C-alpha cells in the first residue's frame, strides 16, 4: 500500500532557514486564514515581537493542503476573504483552490508577515509555566518561550482515515483528499472513493472522467443543491478595482444573503422543506435511473449535514463506468473492497486505487493533545473529561494566555468562516492591548463564565437542524453534543467579541512574571 506523504518538509536546508527566536511575546501557530490573519493584524497594530510556526513549506493551511482536482470554495470569494485585503480580481463567484491559495500567499507577502514565519517548524508540545507565566513551546526546531500562544491550527488540518479491516494488506495506492497523490495517474484505473462529503462531491466527477471504473462507497446520501457559480466579468473586476466601495457593497449583499439561511437552519428548520424541494428536483433532473435516484435520495432534513453544491456530481454518477455502493464496507483485501449485501453475502469490488474523502478529525483536534496547562493536564484530557468547550470558542478555563482560533462552537454551516476568524482575531488583539494596561501577566476564563456561555449555546442549538435534523454528523460529539457549530447569526458573535471583558477572566499580576 502506498500512502501519500502528508506534510512536506520545507524546501530550504535547515541551516538556510532563519533561526527560531528563543522568546517572543506572541507565538502564532499555522498560516491558514487564522494564523496569517493574526500575524497581519498584529503587524498592523505595531506588534513586532511575534513569530509564526508553520509545519509546511508554504502558507495557506487547508487551502494549501487540499489540492484535489475540482477543489473550490462553496462560499462566494468576495465574502470568503479578509475584509482588510479585498481582492477585486476573483475570477469566479466560487473561486477554485489555486486562486485562494495564491490570494493567501500574495496577502502574506503584501502585509510583510513572511519574515515572521518559520516554515518546516512543527509544534510538538506546549507547556504552561505558571511561575514565569509563559508558554514553553517545544518545536521540531527547538524551544520557544512565549507569553501568549495563539493556535490557528484549524479544524480541517488532520485527515481522518477510517480503520477498515485489512487496509494494510491493500496492494494498490491509497490517499486522502487532503493529501492528493498528483503523481498517481487515474487513467484507466479501477478507483474506489469512500465518502460523499463536500470534498468527495468536488473530485468525484474528475475521477469518473479518467478512471476505467469508479465505485463510490456511500454511507449517507447528502443533499446536493445546484451550484450557482459563474465567471466574474472583466467589467465587474474593473469596476471593483476602480470603485472599492462597490466591492464592499457586493460583499455586504452576499453576507446578508448567506445569513438569511440561518432562518431555516436555526429558527424554523421546517422551512428547509422548501430547499429540499429544489434539491429533489435537481436530483430528478440529473438522475433519470429511479434505482440510482433512490440510492442518492437523502433521508434526513436538509441542513443537518453541510449542504453540498454541485452541477456535475449526479451526472458523473449516472455514467456507465460509475457505481454507487450503499452496502457497508466489511474489509479491504489485497485488491478489492468487500461489502456485505443485504442478504448477508460478501461482495468483492476489485479496485487498484482507494481515495478517502472521509473528512477530518474535527471534534477531536490532535493539537489539543500537545497543549498542557499549568497542572500538567493536556487540553485533550480536559475536553475528554468535560467536553470540548471554551469561552467564546477561544479561551479555555485552566489554560492561561492560550487563544484558539476556530475553536469549539465557532464553525459555520452557512457562511464564511473568515468572518468569524476576523472577529476572533479582534478579540485576541483586545486582550493583548489590555493586558499591559491592566498590569496583567495572564488571563484564563473563569470556569463559571465559560460554563454559562456553553449552557446558553447548547440551549440555542437544541432545536436547530444540526441537532434535530435526523442525521449523525461530525458536528456532534460521541455524546451527541454539538461542539462545533455557532448556533445563530454571526453579527451578535462579532459584537460580543469586539470587547475583551477582563471581568470574565482570572488574572495574575505582572509581578508574578518579573519575580520568576
Q: Where do runs of H (alpha helix) occur along 168-301?
A: 200-210, 234-242, 244-259, 261-262, 272-286, 290-295
For the CB of residue 228, give the shortest distance to ligand NAP in the complex, in Å.
14
H-helix segments, 369-480 = 379-386, 417-438, 447-461, 465-468
Residue 6 binding ligand NAP, by CB under 6 A: no
Rule CB under 6 A: say whether 474 interacts with ligand NAP. Answer: yes
- 64 binds ligand NAP per the rule CB under 6 A: no
- In the complex, which residue's CB is closest to ligand NAP? 197
Query: Does 302 interact with ligand NAP (rule: CB under 6 A)?
Result: no
Tell me the three cell numbers of residue 310: 454541485
Half-sphere exposure of 451 (CA within 13 A, CB side): 5
CB within 8 A of 7, min separation 6: which ones? 55, 56, 65, 122
The residue among 169 and 238 lying less far from ligand NAP, judged by its C-beta, is 169
Minimum CB distance to ligand NAP smaller for 73 or for 126: 73
Question: Which of 162, 244, 253, 436 touches ligand NAP (CB under 6 A)?
Answer: 162
What region does 77 belong to: left with phi over 0, alpha with psi -120 to 50, or beta?
alpha
How many residues touch ligand NAP (CB under 6 A)?
Answer: 24
Among 357, 365, 408, 445, contact with ligand NAP (rule: CB under 6 A): 357
Among 37, 264, 359, 445, binds ligand NAP (CB under 6 A): 359
Helix, strand, coil % in the chain, rounded to nearest 5: 35, 20, 45
CB under 6 A: which stretch of 22-30, 190-198, 245-253, 447-455 binds ligand NAP? 190-198
CB closer to ligand NAP out of 200 and 324: 200
Instruction: Give CA–CA dist 242/462, Å, rounded.
Output: 46
Is residue 35 a contact partner of residue 29, using CB atoms and an 8 Å limit?
yes
If the CB atoms of residues 357 and 398 are measured against ligand NAP, the closer one turns out to be: 357
| Contact window for ligand NAP (CB under 6 A) among 137-145, 193-201, 244-252, 444-452 | 193-201
Nearer to ligand NAP, 80 or 500 (CB): 80
Which range binds ligand NAP by CB under 6 A, 72-80, 101-109, 393-401, 460-468? 72-80
- Cα 439 from chain centre: 36
What string of DSSP letters covers 124-138?
EEEEEETTTTEEEEE
Quick check: 43 binds ligand NAP (CB under 6 A)? no
- Determine how many CB atoms are found less than 10 A away from the CB of residue 369: 15
Residue 432 makes contact with ligand NAP by CB under 6 A: no
Can you give the binding site for ligand NAP, defined by CB under 6 A? 72-75, 156, 162, 177, 194-200, 217, 219-220, 306, 329, 357-360, 474
Amino acid at each position: 500500500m502506498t500512502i501519500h506523504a502528508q506534510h512536506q518538509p520545507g524546501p530550504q536546508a535547515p541551516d538556510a532557514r532563519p533561526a527560531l527566536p528563543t522568546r517572543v511575546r506572541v507565538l502564532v501557530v499555522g498560516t491558514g486564514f487564522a494564523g496569517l490573519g493574526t500575524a497581519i493584524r498584529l503587524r498592523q497594530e505595531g506588534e513586532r515581537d511575534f513569530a509564526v510556526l508553520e509545519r509546511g513549506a508554504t502558507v495557506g493551511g487547508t487551502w494549501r493542503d487540499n489540492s484535489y482536482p475540482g477543489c473550490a470554495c462553496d462560499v462566494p470569494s468576495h465574502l470568503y476573504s479578509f475584509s482588510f485585503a479585498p481582492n477585486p480580481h476573483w475570477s469566479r463567484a466560487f473561486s477554485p483552490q489555486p486562486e485562494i491559495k495564491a490570494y493567501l500567499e500574495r496577502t502574506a507577502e503584501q502585509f510583510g508577515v513572511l519574515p515572521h514565519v518559520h516554515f518546516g517548524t512543527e509544534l510538538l508540545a506546549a507547556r504552561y509555566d505558571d511561575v514565569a507565566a509563559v508558554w514553553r513551546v517545544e518545536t521540531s526546531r527547538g524551544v520557544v518561550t512565549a507569553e501568549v500562544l495563539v493556535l490557528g491550527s484549524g479544524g480541517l488540518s488532520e485527515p481522518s482515515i477510517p480503520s477498515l479491516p485489512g487496509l494494510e494488506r491493500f496492494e494498490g495506492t491509497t490517499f486522502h483528499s487532503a493529501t492528493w497523490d498528483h503523481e498517481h495517474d487515474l487513467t484507466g484505473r479501477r478507483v474506489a472513493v469512500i465518502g460523499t462529503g463536500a470534498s468527495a462531491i468536488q473530485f468525484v466527477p474528475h475521477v469518473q472522467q479518467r478512471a476505467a471504473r469508479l465505485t463510490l462507497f456511500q454511507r449517507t446520501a447528502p443533499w446536493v443543491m445546484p451550484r450557482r457559480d459563474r465567471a466574474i466579468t472583466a467589467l465587474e473586476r474593473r469596476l471593483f478595482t476602480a470603485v472599492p466601495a462597490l466591492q464592499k457593497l457586493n460583499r455586504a449583499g452576499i453576507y446578508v444573503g448567506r445569513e438569511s439561511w440561518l432562518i431555516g437552519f436555526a429558527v424554523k428548520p421546517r422551512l428547509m422543506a422548501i430547499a429540499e424541494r429544489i434539491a429533489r428536483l435537481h436530483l430528478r433532473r440529473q438522475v433519470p435511473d429511479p434505482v440510482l435516484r433512490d440510492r442518492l435520495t437523502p433521508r434526513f432534513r436538509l441542513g443537518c449535514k453541510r449542504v453540498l453544491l454541485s452541477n456535475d456530481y449526479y451526472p458523473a454518477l449516472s455514467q456507465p463506468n460509475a457505481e454507487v455502493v450503499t452496502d457497508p464496507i466489511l474489509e479491504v483485501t489485497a485488491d478489492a473492497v468487500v461489502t456485505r449485501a443485504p442478504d448477508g453475502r460478501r461482495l468483492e469490488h476489485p479496485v487498484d486505487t482507494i481515495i478517502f474523502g472521509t473528512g477530518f478529525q474535527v471534534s477531536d483536534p490532535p493539537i489539543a493533545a500537545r497543549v498542557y496547562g499549568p497542572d500538567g493536564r493536556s487540553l485533550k484530557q480536559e475536553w475528554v473529561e468535560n467536553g470540548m468547550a471554551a469561552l467564546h470558542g477561544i479561551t479555555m478555563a485552566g489554560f492561561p494566555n492560550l487563544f484558539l482560533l476556530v475553536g469549539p462552537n465557532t464553525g459555520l454551516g452557512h457562511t464564511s468562516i473568515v468572518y468569524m476568524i476576523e472577529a476572533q482575531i479582534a478579540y485576541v488583539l483586545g486582550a493583548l492591548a489590555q493586558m499591559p494596561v491592566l498590569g496583567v501577566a495572564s488571563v484564563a476564563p473563569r470556569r463559571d463564565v465559560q460554563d454559562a456561555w456553553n449552557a446558553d449555546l447548547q440551549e440555542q442549538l437544541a432545536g436547530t437542524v444540526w441537532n434535530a435534523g435526523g442525521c449523525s454528523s461530525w458536528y456532534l460529539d460521541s455524546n451527541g453534543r454539538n461542539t462545533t457549530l455557532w448556533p445563530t447569526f454571526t453579527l451578535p458573535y462579532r459584537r460580543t467579541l469586539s470587547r475583551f471583558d477582563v471581568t470574565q477572566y482570572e488574572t495574575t499580576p505582572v509581578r508574578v512574571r518579573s519575580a520568576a
